Every structure is written in C-alpha cells, then in structure tokens.
Amino acid sequence: MDTCEQLILHLAGGLQPVKRLRSPVVRALLWLGVVGFLGTALVLAFHRVPALMERARDPKFALELVGTLATGILAVVAAFELSLPDRSLKWVLLPAPSLALWLCSSGYSCWRHLIASDPGQIDPAETTLCLAWIVGFGVPLAISLFLVLRRSHPIDPVPAAVMAGLGVASIAAFLLQFFHPYDVTFIDLGLHLAAVAIVIILARAAAYPALD
Amino acid sequence: MTVDGAEQWGRLMAAAQSGDGAAYQRLLREVLPYIRAIVRRRHAAPDRVEDIVQDVLLTIHRVRHTYDPARPFAAWLGAIAHRRSIDALRRKVRNDAYETFSPIAYETYADPAANREIAAHEDSAYLGEAIAALPPGQRQAVELLKLKELSLAEAAAESGQSVGALKVSLHRAIRALQRIIGAKETE
C-alpha cells in the first residue's frame, strides 16, 4: 500500500464533522460590528461627536473621513476573503479606491493648511501622539482580527495579513479624527502614513506565526 | 475531469464536512490524479511530487471547513495544490542556496589511505592559512587566477598588474605553497 493511500485511510478513518465557515462578508461585518460598538462607546464616553460634526461640515474633511472609514471596512472584508483558499489575489484592490480618496482628500487639506497657517502652530508632541494612537489602537485590533482570521487557516497568509493590517490601521486613523483637534498638516499626514505602514509591517511579520 | 465529476467532488466534500468518512475516502482517492497533475507542472522528481501531494492532502483535511458547497470545488482544490506546490518550490530554492552537495560527506572507509580525499578537505583550512600568509602580490595572483578562476587578462585588469608580473607572482606563490604543505606532510 503506498503512502498516499495510507494517508487517505488515516484521514478518512477518524473523520469528524466540521462546522462550515460563514460567508467572509458576514464574518467581516460581525467583527466590524463589535469594533464599531466599542469605538462608538469610546467616542461617546469622551463627548467627541459634536466637535467632529462641526468639522465635518467641511465637505473635504467629510470626504477624508469617509475615505478613512471605507478603507478600514473594505480592507477588513478583503482580509476575510483572502483568508480562504479559492479567492483571487485581486481582492487586495478592494480598498484601493477609498485609500486613494483618503490620501487625496488628506493631501488637499494639508495643502490648504500649509497656505492658511504658519508652521510654528504645529506641535511636534501632538503629531507624535497621532503615531502612537494609530499603532496603539492598531496592534490590539490586529490581534483580535488575527484571532478570527486564523480560523480559516489561510494557505497564503501574507495577503490576508497585509489587508488586515491596512484595515485596522485605517480604523484607528478614523477613530483618531474624533480626538484630532485640527486639520491634518503634511507632517501629520506623513506620520499617519508611517503609523499605518508600521501596523502593516507588523501584521506582515506576524502572518506566518499567527495565521499559518 | 468533467463538469459532472467536479460537481460530484463538491457533493462528496459537503458529505465529508458532515462527517461521512466513506465519501471523504472516495473523494481523496478521486482527486489524487488531479493534484498530481498540478504538482507535476512545477516538480519533476517523483519522490518530491508524492511528498507534495501528501502535503496537499493534509492541507485539504485541515481547511476542509473553508469549502463552500455553493462554489466550484475544483477551484478550491486547485488553489490549495498550486499553493503547496509553490511553497515546496520556495523551500527547495532556499535549501539549495544554503546547502552544498558533497558526495564524500557520506563516505568514510576503514582503510585510512582510502580517506585521503576527506583528509584533503580537512586540509583546506590549513591551505587557506598558507595562502593568507603569502606576500600580497602572490596572494592576489592565487586568489584571482586559481580561486576565482579568472583569465590572465581579466586578472591583470582587476589587479592592475601586468600579465607577465601575474605569471611570475603565481609561479612563486605555488612554489611557496608547495614548500609549506611539504613541510607539514613531513611533520
């Protein structure tokens, strides 16, 4: 008897029923629902909604908010899709349009800020805090997302991990807007992007140990 | 593989997810040629192909809960077989980069004279020290012409020495190495 036949007999011999995974979109929405609930509680607890609503009257800032949140949601959905064996790598493109919207609207806000204000107003401590916020919120969110994603045992964990990293970093950046007292400057934007990159790199590094 | 065959595989996997061992056994036997065909696209050695096929079977078993019966089974299975095939290829490339095949590494003999080849390898460290002890011009000639195996013209271009000077340096270096190694053998 050859080894493949022995292996088949072994695998089929002790076969147990398994619970089929739910649709990736449903799983993504469940995770996002829990995070959304906790995020809402945090924002309400610190009474940050009125200040944000005031700033969101500016359509360009509103676009930035939509771009950030949509990137977070779509990247998380893409991560769940990519955690399954038969999904196309093209899923990595899902958050691309919203990411472009986020970057373009933030870039435009930076440009306006650069013209309208003098650079002396920028507080380096405040901008560094933004980086710490995104990484500080992004990492625990990534851990919780990885715990859910690892149920799929992704056969190629890297794309799923990178999308998970982008998703949680974008959600952290969205939450940051509630506590960010002014429009982003180029330094802010650079630090926000650096923080997002750090979270993605950490998620990429954790791909095999955590998801394989 | 026919469309009916692929649909049948999907039904068998759905039954396997419910714990039907007989359906699972039949499915795994039926998909073996399909998996082998995918693996053989990237791997030729029969032993390696069988190892990867077994890896694919184990992966199918581990991720069987991710199969959705509403989707084509062949695409799900094909993606797993492709992935494991690529993983094995990467492992092979990585291993080949770090490992050197040495036939004598597996051989040794009771007769000490038969181990001369192995002893010669053990002497390589000593030879390296002897080369390092040569004067700079001679050492460079040995490194370029014997170790890097450059032509005289290439070595002259790299070292800045003339072809004639390189020949002289190499000749002197070899004489010096013969003396050093000869002295060691008489010890």
Question: What ipTM did this prediction achieve?
Answer: 0.84
Please name the residue of chain A whose CA is at the shortest distance from the CA of residue B14: A20
Structural domains counted in chain B: 2
Note whether B84 contacts A: Cβ–Cβ < 8 A: yes
Length reported for chain B: 187
B156 found inside a domain: yes
- The pTM score is 0.74
B104 found inside a domain: no
The structure tokens listed for A195 are 């923080």
Residues from chain B contacting residue A2 (CB–CB below 8 Å): 50
pLDDT of residue A146: 97
Q: For A1-32, what is each residue's pLDDT tens digit?
A: 678 899 999 999 989 999 999 999 999 999 99
Residues from chain A contacting residue B18 (CB–CB below 8 Å): 17
Place of tokens 């950046």: A173
Note whether A121 contacts B: Cβ–Cβ < 8 A: no
pLDDT of residue B184: 67
Contact A173, A68 (CB under 8 A): yes
User: Same domain, yes or no, for B11 and B79?
Assistant: yes
Q: For A160-173, what is each residue's pLDDT tens digit?
A: 999 999 999 999 99
User: Same domain, yes or no, for B8 and B81?
Assistant: yes
Give the domain CATH number at B27. 1.10.1740.10
Q: What residue numbers bound the domain in which B150 lies?
A: 110-186
What long-range pairs does A112-119 form, CB within 8 A, spacing at least 24?
A112/A60, A112/A183, A113/A182, A113/A183, A113/A184, A113/A185, A113/A186, A114/A185, A114/A186
**Averaged pLDDT for residues A52-62:** 82
pLDDT of residue B3: 59
Please name the residue of chain A whose CA is at the shortest distance from the CA of residue B84: A155
Asked if A8 lies within 8 A of B57 by C-beta distance, the reply is yes
When pLDDT is cut at 50, 70 and 90, the band that residue A58 belongs to is: confident
Which residue ranges make up each domain of chain A? 23-211
Residues from chain B contacting residue A16 (CB–CB below 8 Å): 19
Distance CA(B169)–CA(A144), nearest Å, equals: 68
Residue B21: which of A5, A7, A12 has the nearest Cβ? Answer: A12
B22 found inside a domain: yes
User: Same domain, yes or no, for B121 and B92?
Assistant: no
B11 found inside a domain: yes
More confident position, A116 or A154: A154
The structure tokens listed for B25 are 């056994």
Above 90 in pLDDT, residue B178? no
pLDDT of residue B130: 83
Q: For A157-212, what is each residue's pLDDT tens digit?
A: 999 999 999 999 999 999 988 887 666 677 778 888 999 999 999 999 999 999 87
Give the domain CATH number at B169. 1.10.10.10
B35 found inside a domain: yes
Instruction: Give the burial class of B40: count Cβ atoms within 10 A of its Cβ; 0-12 exposed, 13-18 middle, 19 or more buried.
Output: middle
User: Same domain, yes or no, for B129 and B65?
Assistant: no
